[in-house]
Every structure is written in C-alpha cells, then in structure tokens.
Amino acid sequence: MKDLIRFKNVTLGYGRNTVLRRVNLSIAERDFLGVIGPNGSGKTTLLRTMLSLLAPESGQVTVRKGLQFGYVIQRQLLETVFPFTVAEVVSMGRETQRKLFRLERDTNRESVEKALRFTGVYHMRDILFRDLSGGQKQRVLIARALAGEPDVLLMDEPTNDLDIKGEREIMDLIHSIHHQEGMAVIMVSHLLHVVLNHVDKVVFLHEGCSHVYPIETVVKKDILSRIYGFPVRVSELEGRKVIIAGE
Amino acid sequence: MELLSEVFLRYALVSAVLAGGLCAFLGVYVMLKRIVFLGIALAETAALGVAIGLLIGLHPVISSFVLTVLVTLLFWIPVRSSSVSRESLIGYVYCLAGALSVILIAKNPMAESRGFDIVSGNLLYAGLSDLIIIASVSVFLIVLNMGFLRKFLFVSFDRETARAVGLSATFYDSLLYVSLGIAISVSMRTCGVLFVFGSLVIPPMAGLLFCRRVWKVFLVSVLVAVISAPVGLVASYYMDLPTAPAIICVEAGILILMFLLRRFAGR
C-alpha cells in the first residue's frame, strides 16, 4: 500500500494556540479513517492540514504528488443566500478542470452527471440547493466532491444534525463510495457510533494528543474509557457496534 | 427626445447607464458575500481619493483609483483578531474616509465649491473623458467577469472547498475585490457616493428577491440599474431634482414594485 498522506511529529495550531502535538499518522490507498474527538479537540484542524489549508507549526506533512482531494465541508457553514441549483453546486467540483473563456467540455458534464446519479440526486438537479433538506444537501456536497474524481475523500461531520434515517442513508452512501469505488475516505465526526461502525482505523484526538488504533483494537480493549476518562463500552447488537456510556 | 438634444444630458445618461449597470453587476457579489457595508466604505474612500486628488493636483480618477484599490486590498486581508470584527474595521474606514474627505474639501478653496457634488454626485458634470473611462473600465470588468464568473462564485460560496480542490481562492478573491474597487472609484468621480452605494445594493436586492437562478440575478440587477438611469434622469430634468438621488429613488421604487408584484403573484 502506498501512503497518500503522512504526518511525522506534526504540531498544529493557530499562532500561540497549539491545538495538537506530535501527530504521527499515515493514510494509505483504500483506507477508511475516522477522526474522533470532543468538540474543540482539533478534528477540523487536522483535516485542514491534510488539505494543505493550514501549515503545521512544526513537523512534516507529506502529501503524495498530484493527489486529488474531494472535500465535503460542514454544510451548516454554507450561506443560503446563493440561488444555486443542485447541478450548479455539483459542477463546482470540476472547476479546476475548466479553462477560461472555453465552452463546457463533455468530460466535465459526464463527471457531474455520474456524481449526481451515484449519490441519488440526479432527479433534483434543477432544484435550488438551499431548498433541500439536510440529508439531501449532504448528498449534493458529496456529489460535488466526487465530480472532481478525487483519490481521497475528506468529510467534516457529514452526519451532523441529521435524523436517524438521514444518518444511516449518508453512511450507506459513504460506505459504498469506499467499497465500490475503492476510494480512501477520511471522516471527521464527534459521533462515536457513526465512526466505529464503518471505519477501519480511528484517530482519537484528546487534550492535544492523537492516538491511532485499528478498529478491532478499539472494540476489544478498554481504549475509549481511557481516552474519555469515563466508562465507555462497545457492544455488538445484530452485527452493529453499540456504544454504552457510563456504568 | 428634446432632452437628448443636450450633449451634457447625453453624457449624463450614458454615464449613469454604464456606471449603474457595472455597480449593479458587481453588487450581486457584494450581496452574496454579505459585504454590503464594504460598498459604502469603499465609496467613501473613493470620495476621499477624489478630495486628495483635488488637493494635490493629481487627476481625481487616478488618486481615487489608487486609494480605493489599496483600501480594498486591506479589507481583503483576513481579520484574525477575536476582539475586533471586519464590520468594525469597515465602520472605522467609513468614518475616517468621510471625515477626512469633508476636511480636505473644506480646506481646499478649489474643491469647496464642488464639495457637495463629490458627495451626492452630479452626473450633469460628466464629460466625454469621464464617459470614455467608465466605458473602458466597464468593458474590461465585464470581460474579466465572463471569464472568471464561475470561479468568483465558487470562491464566494465556499472558499474553503475551493482552496481544498486546488483553486487559488486568494487570487480569485483578490481579483474580485480589486474589480469592485476599480468600479467604485471610477463611478464615484462622476456619479457620487450615494449613486454608487445605491447601485451596488438596490438592483442586486431586486435580482435576488425576484430570481431563482444566479444568471438571472445578474441580468435583472443590471436591467434595474439600466432602466432606472433614463427614468431618473427624465424625472430630475422635468422636476428639477438632483440627478443621482433621483435615479436611486427610481431603483428603490422598482424594488418595491417588484416586491409587491411578487407578493401579488403569490411567490
């Protein structure tokens, strides 16, 4: 397996405010990585560093040359004043491939249509993005990321504020992107049950430190209780992992 | 038609159509990016540039252009302080530019007589050179926008993702801000602060209120400004009103009319 992204003794922060220290991490092709931690633990900071949007304070971040990112931003951060249709939002994913003063290329149109169909929003392509429900918006943002034909998909809290059905549908979609398309996926979430049921590897961020574990280790050992300083157990129910907090 | 037989009125009309249309077009970004007060601060800065130009003997368009672009770039730099917001900085620049321009005009005997025109604008003073400058800048900025429209919109809508996928958000954002600075500085000289700010805000409001497609928002915004110019000019001619405020009142009237039509149509 080739490494797509590698962190070596990386310290992250904003000026004098250090958020994470000595992060060591590697992401390989076909990895499905979950980044978990309480609010303010540095999840988005780590994601922004992977995307080269934030330079590390120290240490080394290596990104494979030519690596194409697909990024799914937290949808709550987007302004609703823009009257963009679903198709217009998804076609933004091809913007780097567009040439100035040139007509739209067929490859761009095909990629957008394929992404719209894969995420199940093709029939909504002429509807305004702002008029959609939370789950539908999330699908559109995933479609936009896929339209760019990325090597790795990074998602920031993709199931935030979704109801249980919406959460399941979005996770099924992400699961199929990983398994059918074989794409490396990195997902940030503060929802333990969402991450533990889908990923292969977990990065826990806690009090400025990062800990990387394969999912089997997290489930079998009492890692969660140690990290959260509070009894947390992982149990299985009908093949799915269930989080039990407290005694 | 009798009205158009006067050369100065023809110049005034073409200047109002071009400057109004240009500001209305770029105003759509101002509304979408929620930087409305940046428009008034930049218009006031452009007025200060005119006052500086008149004081030091430099062509007011050049001094206004340089100062406005510099201040535009200042606003484009992200504000990192947690105690002072960007809005505070905009308010600060607006107050300082407004105060300084009044002081400079008051202290300049050559400019004092035209001080009121700098603030409220008097399109009737528009000359052929003003018209040529506005026309050239309009063509340049419209062509620039034709090429970069999608990228400007992407960066305005979701700067973080645009950067993540490899688009130079800094470049496109600064280009958009500089375009805005150029349009405001060039229009300010001929049309005044009120006209520029009004055209940046009211026609795009009409577009956003009435349209559910981005390209239609731009189109309706420009149309409102372009239609308001002759109507306002005719009204100001026959009712003996100041020209720029009359045009802005027409823009505002069209907005109310569109709002009522929308309510009436049940949309």
- pLDDT recorded at residue B80: 65
At residue B199, what is the residue type?
S
- List, for residues A166-222, the tens digit of each pLDDT value: 999 999 999 999 988 889 999 998 888 888 888 989 998 888 888 888 888 877 767
B163 touches chain A (CB under 8 A): yes
What's the mean pLDDT when you consider all of chain B?
88
User: Residue B35's closest CA among B258, B184, B139?
Assistant: B184
Which residues from chain B sit within 8 angstroms of residue A96, using beta carbons? Answer: 165-167
- pLDDT recorded at residue B117: 63
The model's confidence at residue A227, banded by pLDDT at 50, 70 and 90, is: confident
User: Residue A166's closest CA among A200, A184, A150, A142?
Assistant: A142
Q: Is the pLDDT of residue A53 over 80?
A: yes
- pLDDT recorded at residue B149: 92
The C-alpha atoms of residue A40 and residue A19 are separated, in whole angstroms, by: 9
The model's confidence at residue A135, banded by pLDDT at 50, 70 and 90, is: very high
Q: Is the pLDDT of residue A224 over 90?
A: no
- Among A46-55, B1-10, B153-162, whose mean pLDDT is lowest? B1-10
Q: Is the pLDDT of residue B207 over 90?
A: yes
- pLDDT recorded at residue A69: 93
Q: Is the pLDDT of residue B115 over 90?
A: no
Q: Which residue of B has its CA nearest to A68?
A: B165
CA B43 vs. chain centroid, Å, equals: 7
B263 touches chain A (CB under 8 A): no
What's the mean pLDDT when you consider all of chain A?
88
The model's confidence at residue B198, banded by pLDDT at 50, 70 and 90, is: very high
Exposed, middle or buried: residue A206 (CB in 10 Å: 0-12, 13-18, 19+)? middle
Q: Is the pLDDT of residue B150 over 80?
A: yes
Task: Please give, rounded to a whole number of angstroms, the shortest distance from the CA of B211 to a CA of chain A.
Answer: 8
Pairing of strands A17-28, A3-14: antiparallel
Q: Is the pLDDT of residue A136 over 60?
A: yes
Total domains in the fold of chain B: 1
Q: What are phi and psi for residue B265, nearest 5 degrees?
A: -80, -5
Q: What is the mean pLDDT of residues B140-158?
A: 92
Q: Which residue of A has its CA nearest to B163?
A: A53
The model's confidence at residue B19, banded by pLDDT at 50, 70 and 90, is: very high
- pLDDT recorded at residue B267: 57
Which residues from chain B sit within 8 angstroms of residue A188, using beta carbons? Answer: none
- List, for residues A14-50, the tens digit of each pLDDT value: 877 889 998 999 999 999 999 988 778 889 899 999 9
- Among A8-12, A66-70, A222-226, whose mean pLDDT is lowest? A222-226
- Choose the closest CB to B158 out of A73, A101, A148: A73
Which residues from chain A sit within 8 angstroms of residue B204, using beta carbons? Answer: none
- B175-194 burial: b if 16+ Cβ within 10 Å, else e: bbbbbbbbbbbbbbbbbbbb
The C-alpha atoms of residue A102 and residue A89 are separated, in whole angstroms, by: 19
Q: Do A83 and B148 touch (CB under 8 A)?
A: no
- pTM, two decimals, is 0.88
- pLDDT recorded at residue B140: 94
Q: Which residue of A has its CA nearest to B213?
A: A83
Q: Is the pLDDT of residue B112 over 70?
A: no
Q: Is the pLDDT of residue A232 over 90?
A: no
The C-alpha atoms of residue B9 and residue B234 are separated, in whole angstroms, by: 10
CATH of the domain at B84: 1.10.3470.10
Q: What is the mean pLDDT of residues A129-144?
A: 95
Delineate the domains of chain A, giving CATH numbers in brackets: 1-67+152-247 (3.40.50.300), 75-150 (no CATH)
- List, for residues B41-73, the tens digit of each pLDDT value: 998 998 899 888 888 888 888 898 899 989 988
Q: What is the mean pLDDT of residues B72-93?
A: 79
At residue A28, what is the residue type?
A
Q: Is the pLDDT of residue B119 over 60?
A: no
- pLDDT recorded at residue B100: 93
Q: What is the mean pLDDT of residues B140-152?
A: 92
Percentage with pLDDT > 90 across chain B: 48
The C-alpha atoms of residue B9 and residue A68 are separated, in whole angstroms, by: 56
Q: Do B167 and A95 touch (CB under 8 A)?
A: yes
Which residues from chain B sit within 8 angstroms of residue A154, using beta carbons? Answer: 164
Q: Is the pLDDT of residue A1 over 90?
A: no
Q: Do B157 and A82 touch (CB under 8 A)?
A: yes
Give the tokens for residue A139.
């699908």
Percentage with pLDDT > 70 across chain A: 97
Look up the domain containing B143 and give its range.
Answer: 3-264
